[in-house]
Amino acid sequence: DAGVIQSPRHEVTEMGQEVTLRCKPISGHDYLFWYRQTMMRGLELLIYFNNNVPIDDSGMPEDRFSAKMPNASFSTLKIQPSEPRDSAVYFCASSDRVNQPQHFGDGTRLSIL
């Protein structure tokens, strides 16, 4: 299996622009997670889905952030409008059951200027 695939790997954009991060989970995995990693706050869970349905979005920092999972093989995390403080590495992870290890993608390094 190719593992969790994220795109783009790097994104540099100007403040106020819309940013869309993409994730393809491992086939057959029912759970999909979006995380953000910063030096100050470490790794934080933003939102997770089960069978394409958002279960817990309490970690989404503001209304500027939104996430969708239109089908079992694709999810997006969108920031609109973006701000410099959104600069971080965003990870997507998937697992086949809640008590099984999560498999992480290589992340998207986002820089908002």
Partner 1 sequence: KQEVTQIPAALSVPEGENLVLNCSFTDSAIYNLQWFRQDPGKGLTSLLLIQSSQREQTSGRLNASLDKSSGRSTLYIAASQPGDSATYLCAVTEDSSYKLIFGSGTRLLVRP
Rule CB under 8 A: is residue 106 a binding residue for partner 1? Answer: yes
**Residue among 65 and 91 whose Cβ is closer to partner 1:** 91
Rule CB under 8 A: is residue 5 a binding residue for partner 1? Answer: no
Residue-wise burial string across 82-113, b where 16 or more C-beta atoms lie within 10 A, e elsewhere: beeebebebbbbbbeeeeeebbbbebbebebe
**Residue among 4 and 67 whose Cβ is closer to partner 1:** 4
Which amino acid does the sequence have at 90? Y
Site for partner 1 in 26-65 (CB under 8 A): 33, 42-45, 48, 55-56, 59
Residue 97, Cα to own-chain centre: how many angstroms? Answer: 18
**Residue among 14 and 101 whose Cβ is closer to partner 1:** 101
Which one-letter DSSP state was computed for residue 26?
Answer: P
Residues forming contacts to partner 1 in the complex (CB under 8 A) are 4, 33, 42-45, 48, 55-56, 59, 91, 93, 98-107
